[in-house]
Amino acid sequence: MSLYDRILGHPFVYHHIRPLVVGIDYTPQYEALDAGPDARILDIGCGGGDALRYLARFASYHGFDTDDVAISFARQRPESGRPNVHFATALVSSTDFEVIRPTHVMMNGLLHHLDDESAVELLKMCAATDSVQRVVTNDTVYLPGELLNNIMARLDRGRFVRDIEGYRDLVSRAGMSIAREETVRSHPRRGIARYWVMVLTRCRRSAAHRRFRLGRCATRLRDPWRPAIPGDFGRRAQSHRRHAARGSCRAGSW
Ligand SMILES: C[S@@+](CC[C@H](N)C(=O)[O-])C[C@H]1O[C@@H](n2cnc3c(N)ncnc32)[C@H](O)[C@@H]1O
């Protein structure tokens, strides 16, 4: 690991300095995860366990990260004393998926650290696990015309920051569906960076439906902090129910 990565990844810099510079609030990402009291949450690339600040309810939480320093930090935070919270310094494997049987998978800030092959492999594990109802990804992204954002993205520790199509391509190669996608400011008022958030489901919709939905989303790169328009969400839910009724995916999966 380079000195640059070590400094930026140090828990003090990550949790105290970075929020002052970039402005960080992951509330929309965790709202998108929509974890209820029965959720078994698998947090891949959990870092210092920040997720526990946002997750009010779950049956169990399992954080995995390859960085031992981050996991040690996570284990020391007071929230790690909540019931059924587990941390592991490890690459997550298909055996972990079989044992944990996650219902909700969080990849907050992970995909831009992974090359295409590793990212697709991980998403395929989600696709192959029938307990998984929802996967949320959140990543630094290159956006056309967003100079400041793109400079921040270039300075990111992640070596695989992509543009929007690059992230969509990973999902498509893993055989998952994008139920919702949008850019989100790193903080509603102070955020100078933009993140690309995708809500993924295991069901594969028809190509026609995907073209219809992606076409709409591509023209909807709107002010990201704005909450989903209720009517719009309602229409998406209706469309989803129509597909569920036709048997192309499970009802209520997002
Ligand atoms: C940008 S940080 C995000 C941390 C945390 N999710 C958060 O929201 O604060 C990315 C994390 O992914 C971890 N990571 C990178 N590659 C990984 C892999 N293959 N498996 C698990 N974690 C990984 C890094 O060690 C780092 O802690």
Q: What is the CATH number of the domain that holds 46?
A: 3.40.50.150
In a domain, 254, yes or no: no
In a domain, 253, yes or no: no
pLDDT at residue number 236 = 42
- How far is ligand 1, taken at its centre, from the CA of residue 44, in Å? 7
- How far is ligand 1, taken at its centre, from the CA of residue 241, in Å? 34
pLDDT at residue number 8 = 65
Q: Are strands 40-44 and 194-201 parallel, antiparallel or unpaired?
A: unpaired
pLDDT at residue number 226 = 41
In a domain, 77, yes or no: yes
Q: Are strands 194-201 and 177-185 parallel, antiparallel or unpaired?
A: antiparallel
What is the pTM for the complete model shown? 0.80
In a domain, 37, yes or no: yes
Ligand 1 within 6 A of 63 CB?
A: no
In a domain, 250, yes or no: no
- How far is ligand 1, taken at its centre, from the CA of residue 42, in Å? 13
Ligand 1 within 6 A of 70 CB?
A: yes
In a domain, 165, yes or no: yes
User: Contact at 8 Å (CB) between 56 and 31?
Assistant: no
Ligand 1 within 6 A of 45 CB?
A: yes
Q: Of 39, 97, 89, 93, which is closest to residue 69 (Cα–Cα)?
A: 89
pLDDT at residue number 189 = 81
Cβ-based neighbours of 188, under 8 Å, separated by 6 or more: 25, 225
In a domain, 251, yes or no: no
Q: Tens place of pLDDT for every residue, the chain, 254 residues?
A: 676 666 666 776 667 666 666 667 999 999 999 999 999 999 999 999 999 999 999 999 999 999 999 999 999 999 999 999 999 999 999 999 999 999 999 999 999 999 999 999 999 999 999 999 999 999 999 999 999 999 999 999 899 999 999 999 999 999 999 999 999 999 888 888 999 999 999 975 555 555 555 544 433 434 344 433 333 333 443 444 444 444 344 333 33
Kindly list the distances between the CA atom of residue 154 and the CA atoms of 21, 160, 162, 163, 167, in Å, as whole numbers in the listed order. 15, 10, 10, 12, 16
Residue 208, domain extent: 3-245
Helix 116-128 with 164-174: angle, nearest 10 deg: 50
Number of domains in the chain: 1
Burial 226-246 (b: 16+ CB within 10 A, else e): eeeeeeeeeebeeebeebeee
Ligand 1 within 6 A of 111 CB?
A: no
Q: How many CB atoms lie within 10 A of CB 3?
A: 7
pLDDT at residue number 2 = 74
Burial 51-77 (b: 16+ CB within 10 A, else e): bbebbeebebbbbbbebebbbebbbeb
